[in-house]
C-alpha cells in the first residue's frame, strides 16, 4: 500500500470519533431526516448533512467525512446542471452546510435507472428476479440479466412516507393526489434530462451512473426546482467503467464506488428490515466506504478533498461559519 493511501486511511480512521451524528442548533425549528438536519430560517432553510449512513429505511453507521462529501458533491452538480434544471441552492457557508430556498417538496422520489441492479426489497433486480415484469408503470421484457444496461433509462418513482417508501406508477401519483398531472410531467422530464447529463459526465470520468434518485419542489413563486441532493454516492449507484465488461464476462459483480457493498454486508449478517438491533459495521468497512466516497468526489469534480487537521469539533465549526446566515 502506498504512503499516500496510508495517510488517507489514517486521516479517516482518526476522524471516526468525531463523526457528525446529529446537530442541536437553536437556529429555528429543526427537522431530522435520514441523513440531513434541516433548520427553518424563514424564507430559507439551513441543511446540515451529517455522517449518518442509512439503508433499508434505517441508520446503519457513521462514516467519517461522509457529510462533507455529499454536500460538496451536490454543490458541484447543482452548479453543473443549473442551466438544465433550476435548483434551490443559495450558498455553501460550511463543507457540511447548504443555505437553500424554502420550497414545498413533492412527496415523491424520482428514481431513474439505466441498468437493472440492486439488493434492497424495492430494487429493480430484486423485483425482476421474483418474476415482476410491470413495475411502476414500466414493462420490462423477458431475458434481462443482473447488472446489464436497460434498453433506455426508466423512471420508477416511490412515495415518501413515514415508514417505508412505496413504488408507485405515474397514473397512481396523479389519481391518488400526490402531484398534479402538469407538475408530474415537468418534474419527470427534468429527472430524465438530469440523468442523461449525469451519465454523460460520469462516463467522461471513467464511471457508470447506474441509477439515482431526484427530489423536486416548488418555490414560493411556483417554479419547480431540484432540491435535496444530486448524483451523490448516497443517492446514486456508480460503477467503474474500465472493469465493467471484463467482470460481467467473468460472472462477477461490477466494481462499486458507492454504499452498495455496505448494504450487502448488513444483508448478509442480519435481517436489516426486521432485526431490532443491528450488528456494528467493522471499522475496516467504515474506512473503505469513506475512502470510496472521497474517491468519487475527487474523480467527478477534479477537486482535491480537504481533510480536517487534528482533533476537531464539526458542530462548533459549523456554528462559526453560519453566523452571518441565521
pLDDT at 64: 96
Neighbours of 325 (CB within 10 A): 15
pLDDT tens digits for 278-313? 999 999 999 999 999 999 999 999 999 999 865 579
Report CA-CA distances (Å) from 5 to 70, 72, 206, 258: 21, 22, 20, 19
Cell numbers describing residue 97 = 452546510
pLDDT at 7: 87
pLDDT at 164: 72
Q: Which residues make Cβ contacts (< 8 Å) with residue 162, sequence separation at least 6?
A: none
pLDDT over 70 percentage in the chain: 97
Domain count, the chain: 1
pTM: 0.92
Task: Flag whether pLDDT at 75 surpasses 60.
Answer: yes
Q: What is the CATH number of the domain that holds 98?
A: 3.30.470.20
Q: What is the mean pLDDT of the chain?
A: 94
pLDDT band, residue 268 (cuts 50/70/90): very high
pLDDT tens digits for 216-256? 999 999 999 999 999 999 999 999 999 999 999 999 999 98
Considering only residues 258 and 15, tell me which one the structure prediction assigns the higher pLDDT.
15
What does the DSSP assignment read for 55-87?
A: ETTEEEEE-TTHHHHHHHHHHHHHHHHTTTS-B
Considering only residues 144 and 122, tell me which one the structure prediction assigns the higher pLDDT.
144
Candidate from 36-45, 92-101, 115-124, 147-156 with smallest mean pLDDT: 115-124
pLDDT at 56: 85
Considering only residues 7 and 281, tell me which one the structure prediction assigns the higher pLDDT.
281
Surface-to-core class of residue 146, CB atoms within 10 Å of its CB (0-12 exposed, 13-18 middle, 19+ buried) = middle
Domain that holds residue 258: 3-325
pLDDT tens digits for 30-69? 999 999 999 999 999 999 999 999 988 889 999 999 999 9
pLDDT at 165: 79
CA distance 235 to 231: 6
Apex CA 257: angle with CA 251 and CA 258, to 5°?
110
Rounded to 5 degrees, φ, ψ at 176 are -85, -5
pLDDT at 162: 65
Task: Flag whether pLDDT at 129 surpasses 90.
Answer: yes
Report CA-CA distances (Å) from 2 to 13, 66, 213, 309: 16, 23, 35, 21
Amino acid at each position: 500500500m502506498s504512503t499516500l493511501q496510508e495517510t488517507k486511511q489514517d486521516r479517516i480512521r482518526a476522524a471516526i470519533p468525531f463523526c457528525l451524528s446529529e446537530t442541536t442548533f437553536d437556529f429555528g425549528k429543526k427537522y431530522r431526516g435520514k441523513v440531513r438536519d434541516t433548520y427553518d430560517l424563514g424564507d430559507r432553510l439551513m441543511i446540515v448533512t451529517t455522517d449518518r449512513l442509512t439503508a433499508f429505511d434505517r441508520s446503519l453507521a457513521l462514516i467519517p467525512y461522509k457529510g462533507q462529501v455529499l454536500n460538496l458533491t451536490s454543490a458541484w452538480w447543482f452548479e453543473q446542471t443549473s442551466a438544465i434544471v433550476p435548483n434551490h441552492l443559495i450558498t455553501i457557508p460550511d463543507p457540511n452546510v447548504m443555505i437553500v430556498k424554502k420550497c414545498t417538496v413533492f412527496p415523491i422520489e424520482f428514481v431513474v435507472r439505466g441498468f437493472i441492479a440492486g439488493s434492497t426489497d424495492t430494487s429493480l433486480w430484486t423485483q425482476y428476479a421474483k418474476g415482476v415484469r410491470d413495475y411502476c408503470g414500466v414493462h420490462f421484457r423477458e431475458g434481462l440479466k443482473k447488472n446489464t444496461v436497460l434498453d433506455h433509462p426508466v423512471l420508477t418513482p416511490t412515495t415518501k412516507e413515514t415508514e417505508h417508501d412505496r413504488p408507485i406508477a405515474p397514473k397512481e401519483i396523479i389519481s391518488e393526489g400526490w402531484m398534479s398531472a402538469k407538475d408530474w410531467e415537468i418534474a419527470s422530464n427534468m429527472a430524465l434530462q438530469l440523468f442523461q447529463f449525469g451519465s454523460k459526465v460520469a462516463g467522461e470520468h471513467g464511471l457508470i451512473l447506474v441509477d439515482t434518485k431526484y427530489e423536486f419542489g416548488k418555490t414560493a413563486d411556483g417554479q419547480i426546482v431540484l432540491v435535496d441532493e444530486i448524483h451523490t454516492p448516497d443517492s446514486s449507484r456508480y460503477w467503474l467503467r474500465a472493469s465493467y465488461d471484463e467482470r460481467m464476462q467473468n460472472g462477477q459483480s461490477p466494481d462499486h464506488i458507492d454504499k452498495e457493498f455496505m448494504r450487502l454486508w448488513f444483508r448478509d449478517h442480519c435481517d436489516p428490515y426486521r432485526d431490532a438491533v443491528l450488528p456494528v459495521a467493522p471499522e475496516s468497512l467504515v474506512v473503505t466506504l469513506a475512502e470510496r466516497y472521497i474517491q468519487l468526489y475527487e474523480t467527478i469534480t477534479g477537486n482535491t478533498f480537504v481533510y480536517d487537521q487534528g482533533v476537531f469539533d464539526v458542530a462548533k465549526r459549523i456554528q462559526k461559519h453560519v453566523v452571518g446566515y441565521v
